[in-house]
């Protein structure tokens, strides 16, 4: 049913012009709630992106204790599956389904217009990305940016030609702005080689979770 409603909504939206600016407002979920940047927090951007969408759907701003519980629940599931500290989109889909019963849509080779249409339906978009590219517009990252990173697109602004995101990897990431061209260029799923340094070989796809 979720798929049917989504497809009908997307089809209907193609006959309508999009607003030149749109923003989904929701709580900012930090990658490291206690500002500790050792493992597992150093690589917890995927988990933070999932939780960003979870609390958007719940319309809640969770406490630090609640977030720590949520993170440990996800870490436990990853450990049970013998996964590494970096999750690809397929694994994020499994986490979201198993823990929160979220269905999901993967958009291959996403365009600016496609992403905007999902946002206009109040559906945040999770982006796996090359953090070295993101660093070109976000100097809050250390070390020139992470090889592999995840963030959540919440809005867009055609006037400035920018996406509006919750970039979970920095304390200044709430409603951060990235240019359309740079963010699209950065999109890469975790590479099949298992080496984050091969991020440029990762497929260009993004993830939408459905309540």
pLDDT tens, residue by residue, 71-85 = 999 999 999 999 999
- Arithmetic mean of pLDDT, 105-117: 98
Residue bearing tokens 């450990």: 79
Averaged pLDDT score across all residues of the chain: 94
Question: What pLDDT was estimated at residue 16?
Answer: 78
Taking alpha carbons only, the member of 206, 46, 176 closest to residue 111 is 206
Query: Residue 152 burial (CB < 10 Å; 0-12/13-18/19+)?
Result: buried
Residue 24 clears pLDDT 90, i.e. is over it: yes
Residue 11 clears pLDDT 60, i.e. is over it: no
Residue 4 clears pLDDT 90, i.e. is over it: no
**What is d(CA 177, CA 153) in angstroms, rounded to the nearest whole number?**
10
* Cα separation values, 78 from 2, 39, 75, Å: 26, 14, 5
86 three-class SS = coil
Question: What pLDDT was estimated at residue 100?
Answer: 98
Q: 150 forms bridges with which residues in the sheet?
A: 128
- Arithmetic mean of pLDDT, 193-208: 97
Residue bearing tokens 């400035």: 160
200 three-class SS = helix
188 φ, ψ to 5°? -155, 125
**What is d(CA 136, CA 141) in angstroms, rounded to the nearest whole number?**
10
Domains in the chain and their CATH numbers? 19-210 (3.90.70)
**What is d(CA 190, CA 199) in angstroms, rounded to the nearest whole number?**
6
Residue 33 clears pLDDT 80, i.e. is over it: yes
């Amino acid at each position: 049913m979720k798929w049917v409603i989504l497809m009908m909504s997307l089809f209907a939206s193609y006959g309508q012009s999009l607003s030149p600016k749109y923003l989904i407002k929701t709580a900012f979920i930090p990658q490291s709630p206690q500002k500790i940047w050792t493992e597992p927090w150093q690589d917890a951007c995927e988990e933070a992106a999932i939780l960003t969408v979870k609390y958007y759907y719940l319309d809640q701003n969770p406490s630090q204790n609640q977030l720590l519980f949520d993170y440990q629940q996800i870490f436990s599931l990853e450990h049970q599956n013998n996964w590494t500290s970096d999750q690809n989109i397929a694994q994020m889909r499994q986490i979201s389904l198993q823990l929160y019963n979220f269905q999901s849509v993967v958009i291959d080779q996403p365009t600016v217009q496609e992403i905007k249409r999902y946002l206009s339906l109040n559906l945040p978009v999770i982006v796996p990305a090359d953090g070295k590219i993101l660093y070109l517009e976000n100097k809050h990252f250390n070390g020139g940016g992470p090889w592999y990173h995840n963030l959540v697109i919440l809005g867009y602004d055609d006037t400035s030609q920018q996406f509006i995101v919750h970039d979970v990897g920095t304390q200044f990431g709430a409603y951060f702005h990235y240019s359309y061209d740079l963010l699209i260029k950065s999109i890469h799923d975790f590479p099949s080689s298992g080496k984050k340094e091969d991020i440029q070989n990762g497929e260009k796809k993004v993830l939408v979770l459905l309540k």
